[in-house]
Amino acid sequence: MYEHFALGLNSIVIAQNKLQKKVISSLSVLNLINFVYDKRHINKDYIYKILNQKNLVEKKKILQNLFNTKGTRRIVNYFISQKLYKNVKLENASHKDKFFMFQLVNDPQVIKNSLGGKITTFKEHNQWFKKIINKKSSKILIFKTINHKLGQVRLDRVSKNKSFITYSIANEFRGQNMGYQMLNRALKNSFFKTPLYAVVRKNNEASNKIFIKLGFVILKNYQKNYFIYYLKNN
């Protein structure tokens, strides 16, 4: 199935077990694959219809972003070079980044440190991403190298004098000062010239250290489990 994604082929997918059904059902939400819930629905007319589908070029671009083919290179770089992040960039998120964002939002550590603290379905994530990607009061940035996506930072302007900042780092790149580097670059750009606020769990030691190092000041405790940080940004 994933080989077909990479090639942009018209495919009819039939699940053979419950796990496959769960994965394929999520993919079919985007209408990117032809998922047959019951093989009795397959007939000659249906097969001809699928084989003659068009717009494969755009479909192929989206499907190829469902999976990362650079895992081997990432592992090799990790062991042989500490210069992996030399040419790191901070770029505006695009529609092709929604799968990376979905992976991040459901990472166990990210869920643990989030305010909501729950798993997000792809349907929920897809609806949210469509709204926020073009929202003028929000900014999503991807921290990346030529080969790898390291993390994301998001800024949300909630009023003329208040914006919130959040971030997350991909699991394999944690503990390497990526969070500080990414946020430091984002702050230098001053996308929203408003005071910045961040809400961080008290037990999230890494994030608390990063925000203090960046010059944020603790305002007060929030619901006993959180700190509110403030940074004048002008």
How far apart are alpha carbons 18 and 73 in whole angstroms?
Answer: 32
- Please list the residues that pair with 138 across neighbouring strands: 156
Q: Is 107 exposed, middle or buried (0-12, 13-18, 19+ CB in 10 A)?
A: middle
Task: List, for residues 21-77, the tens digit of each pLDDT value.
Answer: 877 777 776 666 777 777 777 888 888 877 777 655 566 666 666 665 666 666 656
Topology adopted by domain 82-231: Aminopeptidase (3.40.630)
**Average pLDDT of span 148-168:** 92
Predicted confidence at residue 213, as pLDDT, reads 95
Q: Which pLDDT does position 119 carry in this prediction?
A: 87
pLDDT of residue 192: 76
| 8 A C-beta contact, residue 184 and residue 214 | yes
Q: What is the average pLDDT across 151-176?
A: 90
| Domain boundaries along the sequence of the chain | 2-64, 82-231
Which one-letter DSSP state was computed for residue 92? E
Output the CA torsion sign for 85, 74, 106, 114: negative
Residues 6 or more apart whose CB falls under 8 angstroms from that of 37 comprise none
pLDDT value of position 175? 82
Contact yes or no for 186/90 (Cβ under 8 A): yes
CA dist 70 and 152 (Å) reads: 18
pLDDT beyond 90 at 169:
yes
DSSP H or E stretch at residue 150: strand 149-159
Rounded mean pLDDT, 79-107: 81
The rounded distance, in Å, linking the Cα atoms of 103 and 9 is 25
Higher pLDDT, 197 or 63: 197
Cα separation, 208 vs 42, in Å, equals: 55
Considering only CA atoms, which of 214, 104, 117 is closest in space to residue 170? 104
Instruction: In whole angstroms, give the CA distance from residue 25 to residue 48.
Output: 22
